[in-house]
């Protein structure tokens, strides 16, 4: 099992400001929805398609996270899912900042009421 697949990933939903470099190396800006985050990666949903393997940055509640565009998955209805590999010096930590609408299923005691409801 690779280290990346063992990393905890959290679902969330928060609008973030994004900066990326286009094919001509010009800086572009857009807004995206942060869909998923882990220590080393994030998934953004946007209307624009930044080039793969180019730098990208986004701001989460005033904290800037930097990385590269690892892959794109374009949905004709929803938009472009952008997989970001975060820079080793700018990894996300829950202690630093938590996105709005954050779903942490790694904490079973938070969901104990669901087991007892049956």
Give the number of domains in the chain. Answer: 1
The domain that holds 41 is classified in CATH as 2.40.10.220
Is residue 96 one of the residues assigned to a domain?
no
Is residue 98 one of the residues assigned to a domain?
no
pTM of the predicted model as reported, rounded to 2 decimal places: 0.77
In this predicted model, what pLDDT tens digit does every residue of 81-114 receive, in sequence order?
999 999 998 786 666 766 665 556 565 544 444 4
Is residue 58 one of the residues assigned to a domain?
yes
Closest CA to 43 of 116, 113, 99: 99
Is residue 106 one of the residues assigned to a domain?
no
In this predicted model, what pLDDT tens digit does every residue of 21-48 receive, in sequence order?
999 999 999 999 999 888 899 999 999 9
What pLDDT does residue 15 have?
Answer: 93
Q: Does pLDDT of 9 surpass 90?
A: no
The boundaries of the domain holding residue 27 are 9-90
Residue identified by tokens 């998923």 is 36
């Amino acid at each position: 099992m690779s280290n990346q697949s063992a990393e905890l990933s959290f679902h969330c939903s928060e609008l973030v400001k994004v900066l990326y470099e286009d094919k001509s190396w010009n800086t572009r800006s857009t807004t995206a929805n942060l869909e998923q985050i882990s220590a080393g990666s994030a998934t953004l949903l946007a209307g624009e398609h930044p080039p793969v393997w180019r730098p990208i940055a986004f701001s989460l509640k005033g904290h800037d996270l930097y990385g590269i565009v690892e892959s794109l998955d374009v949905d004709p209805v929803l938009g472009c899912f952008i997989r970001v590999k975060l820079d080793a010096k700018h990894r996300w930590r829950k202690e630093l900042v938590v996105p709005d609408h954050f779903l942490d299923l790694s904490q079973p005691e938070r969901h104990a009421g669901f087991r007892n409801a049956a």
